[in-house]
Amino acid sequence: MPKKGIEKILYDYRKNEELLRYKKQKLQDLYSRPAGDWLIKPTGGPRAMPDVAVADKAELATKLNAEIAELEEKIALVEALKAALDDDLLKVLQMRYIQHKPWQDVAIELAITMRHAMNKRKDLLEIAREFLGDA
């Protein structure tokens, strides 16, 4: 996976958590509608087709389930990576990619030079690339 792809997964971690909650709520709302809304009602004619609204709901539920699965996978990858990192790289991950602090602030808080911070970035992304593989 290219470095930018890995960084995007890391940067989007919090956003993906929020999006996952939102999509799960949308799916729950969709499923909580009255059962009558989900019945396939023929529209008549020689080839009775399902009601368009029902087909749209089924399509939306399928789409939401696929999006939820993708978000859960991305979140699980970052969670597993967090568990595998040493304390220094975990701090870099937390500050830069989850809290979105500028590299200068990361370096100051860790009491290291910018060059050392960039080396830690490189180390983190190499581990993430190996860990995440072709995700």
- Domain residues for the domain of 93 are 3-132
Please report, rounded to a whole number, the percentage of residues in the chain having pLDDT higher than 90: 65
* Of residues 16 and 3, more confidently modeled: 16
Overall domain count for the chain: 1
The helix or strand, by DSSP H or E, that contains position 39, with its residue range, turns out to be none
pLDDT confidence of residue 114: 97
Query: What is the share, in percent, of the chain residues with pLDDT greater than 70?
Result: 79
Average the pLDDT over each of 7-11, 80-84, 127-131 and give the range with the smallest value: 127-131
Give 135's pLDDT tier (boundaries 50, 70, 90): very low
Least confident of 20-24, 122-126, 127-131: 127-131
pLDDT at 55: 61
- Residue 9 to residue 71: CA distance in whole angstroms: 10
Nearest to 123 by CA among 96, 92, 78, 98: 92
